[in-house]
Amino acid sequence: MALDEWVDVGTIKALSKHTSAALVAVLGFALVGLAISFGLKDGVLKQALEIVDGAILVGLFVVLGYKVINLTARGSGHGLLVA
């Protein structure tokens, strides 16, 4: 029995590639948020940039989470969320 009979190797490769890209994106936005909080004085601009940064992070989590679920469903053969 080969490993590819038990596990879809293509799906695991795609998930690992997707996970590393998502990690880089999230860390990048976290570092931008950290730079904003330390670099700017308290004010309207700082609050606005922190809100936009937080909204983008939440959006990233939603989109990337949907992509992982969709990729997993497609790789399993069920295609539950495939549009």
* pLDDT, average across residues 36-61: 87
* pLDDT, average across residues 38-63: 87
Q: CA dihedral defined by 64, 68, 70, 71, rounded to 10 degrees?
A: 130
**Full-model pTM:** 0.62
Quick check: 57 pLDDT over 70? Answer: yes
Domain limits, the chain: 41-75
Rounded Cα–Cα distance for residues 36 and 50 (Å) = 7
Per-residue pLDDT at 81 = 46
The confidence band for 82, taking pLDDT boundaries of 50, 70 and 90, is very low
Q: Hey, what amino acid is at 5?
A: E
